[in-house]
Structure 1
Amino acid sequence: MTRRRPISVTGTFALFRVAAGPRIGHGHLRRAEALACALGRSARVSIRGAGGAGTRLSIVAPAAAGETLDAVRPAVLIVDDPHAGHGGAWVSAATRRRVPVVSLHDLGIARVPSSLAIDGSVVSPSRGWPAACTLRGLRYAVIGRPRQATRRGAVRRVLVSLGGGPREALSRAVADEVMRRLPDVEVLVTQLQVLPTAAGTPARVRRVSAPDGLAPWLARVDVAIVGGGVSLYEAVAAGVPTVAVAVVPAQLPTIRGFARHHLTVSAGLATGGAHVVARRVAARVERIARSSSLREVVRDDGPRLVDGLGARRVAQAIVAVSKEAPRG
């Protein structure tokens, strides 16, 4: 169980305010972890939602924005929330206290009047940013440092990472259909914690834990089946061919953006029932397995487009913002 720290935790350089939970996902929290590592300074996190289990960051107790900022007194506030109203309340509270604010965004969503806005999306609007300064593009994609995938001549291992909870049935259906089409393939299915293997689970399906992101597993597989969030960026950076399926409509622009670069194969939106989607996904995995040239494009071009240094670049920009902020 993650330990929540008392609200009084002064001496903190960065306070992250992120959204995380079953309906929101854990991508925002994973970004905070990657960015905190790149900063190499004291950091705490305040979470909107119930998604803090397993994080290595110190979580401050739930409280209003002003109360938290007064207690923590950070040098900089970093907001990563897809809801502009929630994020804006923290920006306003920080501005009143003359604390600089860095905001992280996906696809230009939830823009707020921060000191610095970061949008490392594959597609991002160039206009309409209320921030004092904006950094956009894949150079600023905040992910954990990737491990390059092992190159093999054939597809032997496939990773399925579509989330837990209501998406568990989809993951099972996808794993079954991939094995039916590719009988020599081992399938790994990720989850936050490894649970006992269910009765009747095929021997070629292995459940693996990925509490700190997919990097360790991406280095071991030949194809990954992911959604359109942080996991897709991680897979592209590792040079792993992917089939991307949007588990929510908001993920479609990211998937289409990478598909235009020939760095993922889109399976569209996960609608129509688990077995219908599974057949669509598995057909695309089979296509990748039969095309060594398609796999080589991703392995060569993916790490060039998403080089894994975005967190370091963003960390440097955050430090600069903290130094430029007025004091007193």
Structure 2
Amino acid sequence: MRPTLLRWLVRSLLALGVLVLGAVLYAPYLPALLAEGFPRPEWPARGFFATIPGASGDSLGETLQTTLNPPLAKLFSESGGKALLVYQGGRLKLEYYAPGFSRDTRFNSYSLVKSLVGLMALRAIAQGEMPGLDAPINGLGVTPRELLDMKSGIVFETDEMKTASGVPEKDLEGTISNPFGPMARLHMRGLAGLAPKLVSDPGKRGIFSYQNVNTALLGSLLGALDKRLSADIWLPAGAQGAEWRRYGADLDISAYCCLYARARDWVLAARYIMGNGALGHELLPDAFRQAFIGQDLSDDEVRQGLYRLHAWHDILDRAGEPLNGRFTYFMGNGGQAVYLMPEKDLIVVRFGERPQLLHSTLYEAWKQIKGI
């Protein structure tokens, strides 16, 4: 090797080493971020997790149908569907999995779990464990309602919103693609070091902006999310054990993302939520229950899609369809969805690669289970 080429190679390696060292000094979580990578869509996943104790058996029972009719199959395949379950009238009417997946597959919730955190926050407020919905939170100034409604005005992420079936939804895991950005720091280290710098912009306060930091702050206020979820929802609902991502071995749970659980367990949790708990274990006071499910909302209020208390609300009003009325849904990155229609005793759970048409999924699922 020529001396000049050797010197160039040495200088290049030294420069690269300085860059790498500088990057690690600026963002010491980088090695862990590279090792964990983007949150995997199914279990097992890399990183640190808390086990959510659940029931030992499966109380959901067997399903009546295990194949999709042509319209529903088309929606499912075009969106890279992996699981689709329909519960109605006290029975699991449909349970379908794409090849390679089964009822034992634990799917990543992504942002679905936000709605459970919202529900647990309402329960904690009702029990006096958190400030009232409209009481300022010490050190933040914003209220629990503003965090729950994504209207806190806290400036954190600046990525553009995306659209899923006409409904704005943050592609929250995508923001981790910037390894030096605030989302990467939150995702790998939690609120430590970030919370004191969080400021609510008066000009943005009261305006909807889907920010993961709102849910992270709620999780920090709640504490012990794994124990709360198990005691408040998962275990009494009859759901089996799950895994929820932690920021690190001894750090808090990432409240906004990454609960790995079976699709059937989401049906059980949704049934428990829709019924407001079970005999002797009321989940929420009636006013909070109505607000979370959206029963106090008008058709006009939800017609363009509404986010409130960490849950989405919309309406089915397409002319000529056999199913109509308001519905509540939880949604996660990639179009993971849990639909609740209490008036129809209807629950639909869907996992997949990309968002599946929001309203059409409910229309076609209803037609299939009703044989229309």
Normalised TM-score (structure 1): 0.29
Normalised TM-score (structure 2): 0.26
Larger radius of gyration: 2
